[in-house]
Structure 1
Amino acid sequence: MPNKPIEHIVVLSGAGISAESGLSTFRDSGGLWEGFDINEVASIEGWYRNREKVLDFYNIRRKQAADVEPNPAHKALADLEKEYQVTVITQNVDDLHERGGSSEVIHLHGKLREARSEDDPDVIVDIGDKPISIGDEAPDGTQLRPNVVWFGEPVPMISIAAERVSSADLFMVVGTSLAVYPAAGLTDYTKPDIKKYLIDPGTPELFSFDGWNHMKESAASGVPKLTKKLLNRDYE
């Protein structure tokens, strides 16, 4: 048993947890996703070059995300709230964590179901699964764009996420290669000697695996198993 009672669990999730609900990932795409070049549709340069193409891509993704359901991993993380304070920090732009029942979710890379002003990132509109078209205006009169963080843009929620990680009594990483920064750097903010679990069938790009319990399983398999142990206060 750890010396200090575990009260706050922080989870960092990546594309692997959404993939098991049927959403494709950057890792599996080989640079092409639904026939689109990622660099053209997921960068601020791509937006300025061809807004319509970028909107088409995210309209497809938004519809796909609305048509899938949370999987056992999402639901298991929500179950942890029966016994713990749980903060989910996700690199994913879908809302599967919320739909799975998690109450505190920090989206590092934005949300598909939201649109924002082209000029002001604080002017945000909830659009659900509706498409965005050229000519659709934000409340400030500018073109609406997806409220997602693209390559070449800052990650506004990263400092809040780092604060949450630094307060964690237990840290869990699920379904991410830890190859994308600044999200991958969150692993450096954990307090020393806390329990750290890594659930991924692959081998994420950690600088050191010292102190980590690596469950080489899919999210939908590994997260429910770990959740059951944690609900029984079994930390080994």
Structure 2
Amino acid sequence: MTKIVILTGAGISAESGLGTFREKDGLWTKYDLNEVATPEGFARNPALVHEFYNARRQNCVEAHPNAAHEALARLEQYIDGQMLIVTQNVDDLHERAGSRQVLHMHGQLRQALCAGCGHRWEAPLVMQPADPCPACQGGPTRPDIVWFGEYPYYMDDIWDHLRGADLFVSIGTSGNVYPAAAFAQDAGRAGAYTLELNLEPSMCGDDFVESRYGAASVLVPQWVDEVLGA
């Protein structure tokens, strides 16, 4: 039985209107990441952090899955084997396109987290520093996002899946951020065929057996058609 593990990054959601870290004039450029994407920044100014993620959450709600998200959902539905998406993205576009086997290694915008008791729940569109945790009535409550300096979610499971994969595909990632930048090497050492689908060569492009370059909304449906024999 074929097992496919797919890593997706900001590039797959960019065509849905969700900006990347490095996009010129994007939302990220208007804020100091040390102030809005670190535990220390949240401790200093939780109102600013919530303002930033409220804006990102609104962008996420208004966005729609594109052809790349839809193609991956189709692949999961019809593949003769197993498929898992590991995403660095905090949006829910994979799920809204129909994908069910998705691990969000960097958390999710649509979830809230109590820093006190660890409880998670569906985040309101607008979060505020005074919001109480529905479980313990304490806090502080924060976006359920993995910030810089924090360890990504599900890593033990992800390494296991990578080492059991027959095919590893990286879609729309820069290759700048670890541990995800090491996934291709790790899967390849375990015997997986490795494929990069990206707008341009990533920083870890040499780790792949095969690379294809172009827009995700074009490349991914083409590749899925090949896999499914459409």
Compute the TM-score of the two structures, normalised by the length of structure 1. Answer: 0.89
Deviation at residue 34 of structure 1 after TM alignment: 6.0
Matched, 1:59 2:54: yes
SS at match of 1:173: strand
Flag as ranges the 4+ runs of structure 1 deviating above 4 A.
Answer: 29-32
Conserved? CA contact 1:31–1:37, under 8 Å: no
Q: State the alpha-carbon separation in 1 of the partners of residues 29 and 210 from structure 2.
A: 35
Which residue of structure 2 aligns with residue 199 of structure 1? 197
Q: Which amino acid aligns with 2:161?
A: R
SS at match of 2:112: strand
Which residue of structure 2 aligns with residue 3 of structure 1? none
Q: Which amino acid aligns with 1:116?
A: L
SS at match of 1:33: helix
Conserved? CA contact 1:31–1:38, under 8 Å: no
Matched, 1:89 2:86: yes
SS at match of 2:127: coil
Which residue of structure 2 aligns with residue 151 of structure 1? 148
Q: 2:95 aligns with which of 94, 98, 119?
A: 98
Q: State the alpha-carbon separation in 2 of the partners of residues 66 and 31 from structure 1.
A: 17
Q: 2:35 aligns with which of 26, 40, 47?
A: 40
Could you report, residue by residue, the CA deviation over 1:143-175 in whole angstroms, capped at 9, with x for unpaired residues? 210000001112132221111111111111000
Conserved? CA contact 1:108–1:155, under 8 Å: yes
Q: State the alpha-carbon separation in 1 of the partners of residues 172 and 205 from structure 2.
A: 17
Which residue of structure 1 aligns with residue 132 of structure 2? 137
Deviation at residue 29 of structure 1 after TM alignment: 4.4
Deviation at residue 53 of structure 1 after TM alignment: 0.1
Compute the TM-score of the two structures, normalised by the length of structure 2. Answer: 0.92
Name stretches of at least 5 consecutive residues in structure 2 with no aligned partner.
Answer: none
Which has the larger displacement, 190-199 or 153-162? 190-199
Q: State the alpha-carbon separation in 2 of the partners of residues 105 and 187 from structure 1.
A: 18
Match runs of 1:204-219 below 5 Å: 204-206=202-204, 208-209=206-207, 212-219=209-216
Which residue of structure 2 aligns with residue 114 of structure 1? 111
What is the root-mean-square deviation in Å for CA atoms of aligned residues? 1.9
| Closer/same/farther in 2, CA of residues 152 and 31 from structure 1, 3 Å limit | farther
State the identity %. 39
Q: 2:18 aligns with which of 20, 23, 38?
A: 23
Count of matched residue positions in the alignment of Structure 1 and Structure 2: 225
Task: Please identify which structure carries the higher helix content.
Answer: 2
